Structure 1
Amino acid sequence: MTPATQLRDVTLRDGLQLTGKLLDTEKKVELTRLLLGWGVDAVEIGAMARPDRVPPMANTLEVIAALTADELQHCWIWAATPRGIARAIDAGARNFEYCLSVSDDHNLANVGRSTEASMAALPEAVDRVAAVGGQLQLTLATAFTCPYRGVIDPDRVLELVTDPRAEATTTVVLCDTLGQAVPDQVEQLVRWVLGAAPGRAVVYHGHDTWGLGVANTRAAIDAGATMVDGALGGLGGCPFAPGASGNTATEDLLFALRPNWLTPPKFSEIVRAAELLLADLGEPNRSKAAQGARSEARAFEWVISA
């Protein structure tokens, strides 16, 4: 990991949305502060999604309100409508991921409207965020494959990125929603987007469904992505994308990329905290690095001694 690359932990949004369990506001705030305190650059703390469709996001506004303005500078909120963004702004949020799917079929399943309808509402979202001096990322779900349509044409991704309505977004987030991409695809699409949208950064959001989460993330960084996403224990997946499984594990990304702030003792703290969270949620731990940290190879400094 280069100093210019940031890690965003998405446990509290993408990680929780398939669990079906609402984590207490206090626990969400505590985890946010732990992550930021360890050195994680950014945290996705929730989504402006309908509670009846995604119950674990029901207390997102309460989480926003409980954090300080300084903490919220490092926090991100997922949203699919300008109205959702407006409500989160009133609660204190300033950084947003405006999400739409490259695949029309998935956008209909995920947010109940066509991709074009989502794009048509984007300028209003841009204006709302600009009015409070915030940041707005254009988040493109199903940027590589769609559960209903299969492989996505990269040209369609570039059409959305270069659409005049998207020009005011600060960043493009490329989501491998199903975890079906391979490193060459990821590297190529990141380079194409950077070339097509000079001045905008690229974030890579990967899933580990086919075991390539870390490799794809490394490819994205090599191609110029300046932020990458992960979730503790590999939690997560889209409830409206059949075949999607957990995010690339934050622990795996940390162990592979070794940011300057990471030490073996701090890594042990992160592994232990993730284990407690997963036990509370009744979810399995999918992190290979966490499993390795619990091995019997005691001479290796990254193994937890007790």
Structure 2
Amino acid sequence: MSDIILRDVTLRDGLQLTGKLLDVERKLEIARKLLALGVPALEIGSLARGDLVPPMANTLELIAELTPEERTRCWVWVATPRHVEKAAEAGITHFQYCFSVTDEHNRANIGRDTEASIAAMPEAVRRAEQAGGDIQLTLATSFTCPFTGPVDPARVLAIATDPRTDGAADIVLADTLGQAGPAEVAALVGAVREHTPHRRIVFHGHDTWGMGVANTLAAIGAGATVVDGALGGLGGCPFAPGAGGNTATEDILFATRPSWFTPATLAELADLTDGLLTELGEPNRSRTVTGARSTTTAFPWAAPVRG
């Protein structure tokens, strides 16, 4: 699994339910620490309205502080062509164009029905291409919706193969509520991969029902090559009742063991996570961080608290 790309989403999905706006300097510190440790990609923010999602209010300022090289490894959540334009003006070239598979959640999350988001996507793609960038088709509620229940996989496939979404380089399948099981994840990832073989498949999982790592591994087994996680399992959707935290970055890394991830890397990640969660007043949901705090000396991955 060494070729699997882990994208850490702490600075967007991880923070959006905390209610606390970290200043740009602190966000920049976290981003640079993660990049320095070897994390291949980051989701660093959202163009969602700051009055609706306060922790995202300084995303454009954060983008401006990143170096051009750092930005090549960073993604920003957008929901409209205008969002793409504003993020591109700030210097970003990787865009996650997000909408929900169900109208009910899309109206709650973005304020329009799904068809309106699909219809606007070609213009979003055009603006991304003008900026020399690429865009992902990010499908929230790909498995279940908090308002209507289970989602028909045929609906996901219809959107994935709609000519208006052709411009997306990747497809992100999001288990927004964390209610899917490994078999469902494998089936949908496999079907989307079969119908759109030219795109990368990204799996975005939540650990609400304890299936985060299992679902991530199922997605990888079915052909996903990028997976999302957040430090300490932070996160959730403010417009999706019942949504829990993201699958923990540390748990995904411990399960997949990419070549850059070492016991020393885990120790530094655990310290970063502990400091951030304390600052935010959030609990640690990562079983790997909990395990790493063991005082055993026989297991090389143990990372007792230092000092």
Q: Which structure 1 segments of 5+ residues have no match? A: none
Q: Is the 8 A contact 2:231 2:273 kept in 1?
A: yes
Deviation at 1:154, TM superposition (A): 0.1
- Superposition map of 1:129-208 within 5 A: 129-208=128-207
SS at match of 1:17: coil
Q: For residue 109 of structure 2, what is the aligned residue in structure 1?
A: 110
The TM-score normalised by the length of structure 1 is 0.99
Residue 47 (structure 1) aligned with residue 23 (structure 2): no
CA distance in 2, matches of 1:135, 1:2: 24
Shift of residue 198 of structure 1? Answer: 2.0
Structure 2: stretches of 5+ with no match in the other structure = none
Alpha-carbon distance between aligned partners in 2 of 1:256 and 1:298, rounded to the nearest angstrom: 21
Match in the other structure for 1:249:
248
Per-residue CA distance 1:253-282 (angstroms, 9 max, x = gap): 111111101111111000001100111111
SS of 2:64's equivalent in the other structure is: helix
Q: Is 1:268 paired with 2:267?
A: yes
Q: Which residue in 2 is equivalent to 1:122? A: 121
How far does residue 297 in structure 1 lie from its aligned partner after superposition? 2.7
- For 1:2 and 1:175, the matched residues in 2 are separated by 22
After superposition, give the CA deviation of every residue in 1:221-270 in whole Å (9 maximum; x if it has no partner): 11110100000000000000000010000011111111101111111000
SS in 2 for 1:29: helix
1: CA distance, partners of 2:39 / 2:86: 26
- Residue of structure 1 equivalent to 2:228: 229
2: CA distance, partners of 1:213 / 1:165: 31
Asked if structure 1 preserves the Cα contact closer than 8 Å seen for 2:2 and 2:257, the reply is no
Aligned-partner SS, 1:136: strand
Normalising by structure 2, we get a TM-score of 0.98
Whole-Å Cα distance in 2 between the matches of residues 60 and 173 of structure 1?
21
Render the CA deviation track for 1:75-120: whole Å, top value 9, x for unaligned. Answer: 0000111111111100001000000000110000000000000011
**1:73 and 2:69 matched:** no
Alignment-derived partner of residue 98 in structure 1: 97
Whether 2:2 is the aligned partner of 1:2: answer: yes
Report the Cα distance in structure 1 between the residues aligned to 2:213 and 2:297, rounded to whole angstroms.
24
For the residue of structure 1 that corresponds to 2:45, the secondary structure is: strand
1:193 counterpart SS class: helix
Q: What RMSD over aligned residues (CA atoms) do the two structures have, in Å? A: 0.7
Q: Which residue of 2 aligns with 1:17?
A: 16
Structure-2 residue corresponding to 1:297:
296
Quote the offset at 1:142 in angstroms. 0.1
The 3-state SS of whatever aligns with 1:210 is coil
Deviations 1:131-154 (A, max 9, x none): 122110000000000000000000
Question: What residue identity is the alignment partner of 1:202?
Answer: I
Report sequence identity in percent: 61
Rounded Cα–Cα distance in structure 1 between residues aligned with 2:181 and 2:36? 33
Letter paired with 1:103? T
Q: Read off the aligned partner of 2:256 and give its amino acid letter.
A: L
Does 269-278 or 290-299 show the bigger shift? 290-299
- Distance, in Å, in 1 between the alignment partners of 2:32 and 2:235 is 20
The answer (yes or no) to whether the contact 2:200–2:225 under 8 Å persists in 1 is yes
CA distance in 2, matches of 1:127, 1:68: 25
Instruction: Render the CA deviation track for 1:24-79: whole Å, top value 9, x for unaligned.
Output: 10111111111111111100000000011000000000000000111100000001
Secondary structure of 1:50's counterpart equals coil
Report matched runs for 1:23-42 at 5 Å: 23-42=22-41
What is the number of residues matched between the two proteins? 305
1:286 aligns with 2:292: no
The one-letter amino acid of 2:96's match is E
CA distance in 1, matches of 2:89, 2:216: 34
Counterpart of 1:107 in structure 2: which amino acid? N
User: What displacement does 1:301 show?
Assistant: 1.0
For 2:296, give the aligned amino acid: A
Q: Segments of 4+ in structure 1 off by > 6 A? A: none
Letter in 2 for 1:206: G
Contact 2:10 2:231 in 1 (8 A): yes
SS of aligned partner of 1:7 = strand
Separation in 1, partners of 2:193, 2:200: 7
